[in-house]
């Protein structure tokens, strides 16, 4: 009887072991299938990130996020959070990626992560971490850099090194701001910058990567000059020595900005002697983005609401610090550069190639364009471009579509200029939720 019971127990034990082995095998097989499924989705999302189609990559990521492994979510999130101006989230994912998945990262991936993370940390005013990330790029990944890129990063490293240990920029806004935009003799938009009884006009430009100030204006505003010098190009094309500085405090109307970073340049670097015109300073992206939301009106008012607004969807992204706009038009949809410094919209060869069938009947012309650096001539056609924003279709007549590339690695469909923006009474740029509204 005992032997029979022992035999039953033995058979039962074997059966349990077989079931456990089978379950483990199935779980392993499922895990491999999940990994392969995640890899397939990730490759599709990453291919969109590589061509800077951040909006399509974001939509695909949101649709399939739960199907991705933790590693694939981190890899994608680092770049998407950076593109949609979520530096805290991008930095946290960068830290996790480097801490827990270092062995899975290729050398080229490490380069890509470090190359954007120094900008991410700078947006957070964590200058030491920005310096360390850039040092990694210049120490270990120069094979991925062109000579101009390497030189630019070496200059940027001087800035982050100088700023190491400096206090973070701080903005205090206690009420809505509504002040006039002042046009200078060149027609550029200026704001009145004040400090106690001192006041001076500064150009403002969301496309400027960093704020700039002349030596004489810096001295008047008590800018603290930091160690380190580097060269910048002047209006004349000559190279001039520059310094990094911190302005302890200044005001835009009722808004106070503390510890803003400025590149301090010789006065002649921002001078136009032939026109008897001098730029005193330029408020760049780091100051303007920190305001949360800015509104520019057709009658030249600069408005900053105390509490930034909200939107259902985000149609703005950043290519480093270049604003990108997602637009629909009568032929399709895609990503454009938001170029507030351009008077007229221009469509690139990427747009022509995408809609070549619809544009084939248009007459080809030689189109010349350029500026102070000279003019170039390219083949193109004119078309009526009908972008849509806020549910409104805005026809723009005689818009040039280039048939030849301006540069090899361009992924965008065109530049959206003031001819589109001026069709509206107000432009709202919200940097917290990354959207553009035109009213």
Query: Where is the domain boundary, 163, 186, 213?
Result: 163
Residue 382, strand partner residues: 400
- How far apart CA 306 and CA 283 sit, in angstroms, is 20
350 in the same domain as 323: yes
Which residue shows structure tokens 């006065």? 267
Pair 174, 239 in one domain: yes
Q: Are residues 285 and 326 in the same domain?
A: no
Q: Is residue 30 part of a domain?
A: yes
Structural domain of 335? 316-438
Does one domain contain both 210 and 237?
yes
Domain annotation covers residue 307: no
425 and 303 in contact (C-beta within 8 Å)? no
Assigned domain for 311 exists: no
**Cα-Cα-Cα-Cα dihedral sign, residues 280, 282, 288, 289:** negative
Domain count, the chain: 3
Buried b (16+ CB within 10 A) or exposed e, 127-153: bebbbbbbbbbeeebeeebeeeeeeeb
Torsion 128-130-259-84 (CA) sign: negative
Cα separation of 140 and 364, whole Å? 48
Residues 147, 49: one domain?
yes
Alpha-carbon distances, residue 47 vs 34, 297, 377, 431 (angstroms): 20, 38, 33, 26
Mean per-residue pLDDT pooled into runs of 10, the chain (439 residues): 56 57 46 79 94 94 94 96 96 94 92 93 95 95 92 92 96 96 88 96 86 96 92 64 95 97 92 86 92 93 94 88 90 89 87 93 86 70 93 92 87 90 90 92
What whole-number distance in Å separates Cα of residue 96 and Cα of residue 113?
12
DSSP designation for 173: -
Distance, C-alpha 227 to centroid of its chain: 28
User: What separation in angstroms does the CA of 286 have from each of 21, 92, 182, 406?
Assistant: 58, 20, 21, 28
Q: Does residue 271 sit within a domain?
A: yes
357, containing H or E segment: helix 356-359
Q: Looking at residue 62, what is its pLDDT?
A: 95
Say yes or no: 358 and 423 in one domain. Answer: yes
Residue 306 counted as domain residue:
no
Query: Are residues 34 and 159 located together in one domain of the fold?
Result: yes
Burial (0-12, 13-18, 19+ Cβ within 10 Å), 160: buried
1 in any annotated domain? no
- Structure token pair of residue 74: 């981190």
Indicate the SS3 state at residue 222: coil
Q: Could you tell me if 175 and 155 lie in one domain? A: no
Kindly state whether residues 237 and 143 are assigned to the same domain. Answer: no
- CATH number for the domain that contains residue 62: 1.25.40
Cβ neighbors of 5 (< 8 A, separation 6 or more) are none
Residues 150 and 24 reside in one and the same domain: yes
Instruction: Give the per-residue pLDDT at 15.
Output: 56
* Boundary-marking domain end, from 114, 139, 163: 163
Kindly state whether residues 17 and 36 are assigned to the same domain: yes
Residues 135, 14, single domain; the answer is yes
The last residue of one of the domains, among 132, 147, 163, is: 163
**What CA–CA distance (Å, rounded) separates 132 from 114?**
9
DSSP one-letter string for 274-325: GGTEE--EEE-HHHHHHTSEEEEETT-EEEE-SS----SS--EEEETTEEEE
**CA angle in degrees (0–180, nearest 5) for 432-435-438:** 130
Q: Would residue 297 count as lying in a domain?
A: no
Q: Report the CATH number that the domain containing residue 213 is assigned in CATH.
A: 2.40.70.10
């Amino acid at each position: 009887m005992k032997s029979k019971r022992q035999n039953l127990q033995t058979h039962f034990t074997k059966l349990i072991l077989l079931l456990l082995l089978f379950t483990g095998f199935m779980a392993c097989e499922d895990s491999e299938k999940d990994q392969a499924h995640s890899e397939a989705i990730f490759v599709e999302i990453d291919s969109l990130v590589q061509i800077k189609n951040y909006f399509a990559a974001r939509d695909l990521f949101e649709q399939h996020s739960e199907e991705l492994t933790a590693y694939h979510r981190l890899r994608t999130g680092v770049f998407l959070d950076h593109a949609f101006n979520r530096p805290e989230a991008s930095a946290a994912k960068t830290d996790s990626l480097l801490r827990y998945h270092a062995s899975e990262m290729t050398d080229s991936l490490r380069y890509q992560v470090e190359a954007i993370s120094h900008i991410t940390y700078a947006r957070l005013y964590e200058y030491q971490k920005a310096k360390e990330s850039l040092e990694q790029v210049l120490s270990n990944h120069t094979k991925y850099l062109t000579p101009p890129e390497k030189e630019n990063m070496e200059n940027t490293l001087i800035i982050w090194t100088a700023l190491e240990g400096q206090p973070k920029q701080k903005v205090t806004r206690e009420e809505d701001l509504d002040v006039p935009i002042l046009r200078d003799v060149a027609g550029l938009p200026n704001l009145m910058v004040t400090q106690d009884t001192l006041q001076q006009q500064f150009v403002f430009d969301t496309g400027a990567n960093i704020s700039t100030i002349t030596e004489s204006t810096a001295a008047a505003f008590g800018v603290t000059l930091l160690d380190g010098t580097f060269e910048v190009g002047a209006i004349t094309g000559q190279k001039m020595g520059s310094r990094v500085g911190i302005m302890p405090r200044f005001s835009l109307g009722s808004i106070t900005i503390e510890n803003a970073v400025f590149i301090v340049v010789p006065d002649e670097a921002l001078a136009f002697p032939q026109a008897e015109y001098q730029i005193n300073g330029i408020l760049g992206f780091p100051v303007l983005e920190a305001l949360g939301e800015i509104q520019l009106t057709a009658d030249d008012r600069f408005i900053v609401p105390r509490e930034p607004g909200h939107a259902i969807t985000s149609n703005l992204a950043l290519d480093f610090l270049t604003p990108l706009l997602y637009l629909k038009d009568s032929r399709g949809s895609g990503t454009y550069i938001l170029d507030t410094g351009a008077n007229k919209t221009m469509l690139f060869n990427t747009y022509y190639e995408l809609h070549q069938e619809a544009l084939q009947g248009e007459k080809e012309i030689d189109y010349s364009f350029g500026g102070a650096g000279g003019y170039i001539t390219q083949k193109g056609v004119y078309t009526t471009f009908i972008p849509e924003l806020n549910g409104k279709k805005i026809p723009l007549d005689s818009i040039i579509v280039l048939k030849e590339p301006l540069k090899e690695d361009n992924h965008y469909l065109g530049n959206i200029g003031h001819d589109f923006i001026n069709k509206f009474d107000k432009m709202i740029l919200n940097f917290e939720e990354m959207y553009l509204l035109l009213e």
